[in-house]
Amino acid sequence: MGEFNFWDGRRHPMRFRRELGIWELFVPGAVNGQLYKYEIIDNSGQMRIKADPFAFEAQMRPQTASMICSLPPKVEMQPQRKVANGFDQPISIYEVHLGSWRRHTDNNFWLSYKELAEQLIPYVKEMGFTHIELLPINEHPFDGSWGYQPLGMYAPTRRFGTRDEFRHFVAAAHDAGINVLLDWVPGHFPSDDFGLAKFDGTELYEHSDPREGFHQDWNTLIYNFGRREVSNYLSGNALYWVERFGIDGLRVDAVASMIYRDYSRKEGEWVPNHFGGRENLEAIAFLRTTNRTLGRAAAGSISVAEESTDYPGVTRPSEDGGLGFWFKWNLGWMHDTLDYMKLDPVHRRYHHHLLTFGMLYNYTENFVLPLSHDEVVHGKKSILDRMPGDSWQKFANLRAYYGWMWGFPGKKLQFMGNEFAQGREWNHDSSLDWHLLEGLDNWHHGVQRLVRDLNHSYRHYTPLYQLDFDPNGFEWLVVDDHENSVFVFVRRDRDGNELIVASNFTPVPRHDYRFGVNQSGGWREVLNTDQHDYHGSDVRNHGIVHTDAIESHGRAQSLSVSLPPLSTIWLVREGD
């Protein structure tokens, strides 16, 4: 039923193709742009009006019709985009919710895909990020779900424009040398009447048993991954975004909720698998199939798992028993480091392990270090507001933390607003607080400049990214200075070039701080989070600092440098 038959389903009854198990109809008068739905008489004789789960375009919410739209042409993945996704490449991701990055000031309305291409992409390029990651843009009924409760899996949301305008947005990012990642949600779907729930009167896409088919946390339904039609619907969708829109990779949401049958459930609220275990074997097989499909049919694209447990082998090939993802969010690193940073510096000496523990498991997976949207909502405060002390110390702590993060092994991810130290929690119904950057140069400008310089320096120095997932790329120089809350480590590339990262997480400057190094000669400070440009106290190491033949930390050569208060500095070798 649709605009081509006055919304009267009696005019165009479909016929059942018994040998295929599908219903079909050719409507000669239907044209692109017309709205339609399915009118279904279910197994109990009730009429159900449903949107098309495979629709390539959908109506603007709160309307729910599907729109006739042809399959978009394929987008060839250029070699430079494939290279930019590599394990040995600098990857710095800017995570964006398109509806609240920036809004029109006069009416608080969203920017369109076209306006976002003109404003967001140049900003991301200037800031030095290599990738944009979009919160889900699949069509979804409720703004407050941020796209994480999708129903139109094949349709970009109409909130910001048409399907083709979204394709142009992606193309504009590629023209600017920026790869695009898409947040993808195969873990659950809402129960709205017009959607997938009880599509033909039965649990067609979901499980009939609520212990398997209902998410108590989110009041949503769970796909029945064991049905071939359902897993094909989703795996095909993953390939669709990569192949037809030029998406360079998918970040898969809530993987833990998919692979564990007892996820967030008490005893008796879940059904074991046929071996009696807690693993959802069908979901695991689906994820492996999807990742394998992307690897073969869309070579160069990547998938990133948001997986919150210690499930083994998330980023190992499926042939070796892994899930086959390219990268995994390091949520353990994120929690530990934020727990450390929120402490008053006087107490940090007792929690030194929070910054060192991550290296004990660092090479078990290919990690991304995320400061995502999840960390700035639901009463968690902004990243800035978690920092202790007065205003000066809050900003200094944040800058030192960012310097540590960009130096630490793993790819980087920052949610929008973090890059200029937004002071309040993220609100999806309004723009970021861009007014903080208006007027005279201030602390927020300093953080924004630091993030820009971190990104560009990170991309320039190969030791910071080339061996992220190789133990040869990292070595502690000072790991046990609990009393001073000082950490020093070295990053290394394949050619043996080194970059030293030194952090002082107390407000006390450490002059003439000596530590052993591997390579003798001159060292130059190339980044200092305390420098004047970032509104720090400008304690610097000017010129070339030379090593001394003084034994320290088990090494014959050592450096003596000034460590500014609440800061991170980077040093590179320069001269003999």
* Residues belonging to the active site: 253, 306
Cross-strand pairs, 418: none
323 Cβ contact partners less than 8 Å away, ≥ 6 residues apart: 255, 259, 284, 287, 288, 291, 305, 311, 313, 314, 315, 316
Residue whose entry in the numeric block shows the structure tokens 């399915």 = 38
Distances (CA, A) of 513 to 103, 188, 401, 473: 48, 53, 20, 24
Q: What are phi and psi of 415, to 5 degrees?
A: -75, 145
Q: How many CB atoms lie within 10 A of CB 193?
A: 11
The enclosing H or E element of 92 equals strand 92-96
Could you write out the DSSP letters of every residue in 267-292?
TTSS---TTS-SB-HHHHHHHHHHHH
Beta bridge partners of 525: 571
First to last CA, the chain: 78
Closest CA to 124 of 94, 101, 100, 104: 94
What number of other Cβ atoms are within 10 A of residue 521's Cβ? 13
Neighbour tally for 360: CB within 10 Å = 9
Spell out the residues 6+ positions from residue 417 whose beta carbon is closer than 8 angstroms to its own: 376, 382, 426, 432, 433
| Strands 522-528 and 510-517, bridge-based pairing | unpaired
Give residues with Cβ within 8 angstroms of 393, minimum separation 6: 387, 507, 566
Give the DSSP letter of residue 323: -
Q: Rounded to whole angstroms, how far apart are CA atoms 62 and 395? A: 42
Query: What values do phi and psi take at 63, rounded to 5?
Result: -75, 155
DSSP helix/strand/coil, 235: helix
Axis-axis angle for helices 163-175, 113-127 (nearest 10) = 20
Q: Is the backbone peptide bond immediately before 62 cis, with ω within 30 degrees of 0?
A: yes
CA pair distance 332, 336, nearest whole angstrom: 6
Four-point Cα dihedral 251, 252, 254, 260, nearest 10 = -140
The SS3 of residue 242 is helix
3-state helix, strand, coil in the chain (%, to 5): 30, 25, 45
Residue in the block written with tokens 């729109």:
67
**How many other CB atoms are found less than 10 A from the CB of residue 565?**
20
Write down the H helix ranges in 298-389: 331-341, 353-356, 383-386
The token duo for 220 is: 């949503």
Nearest to 181 by CA among 308, 326, 310: 326
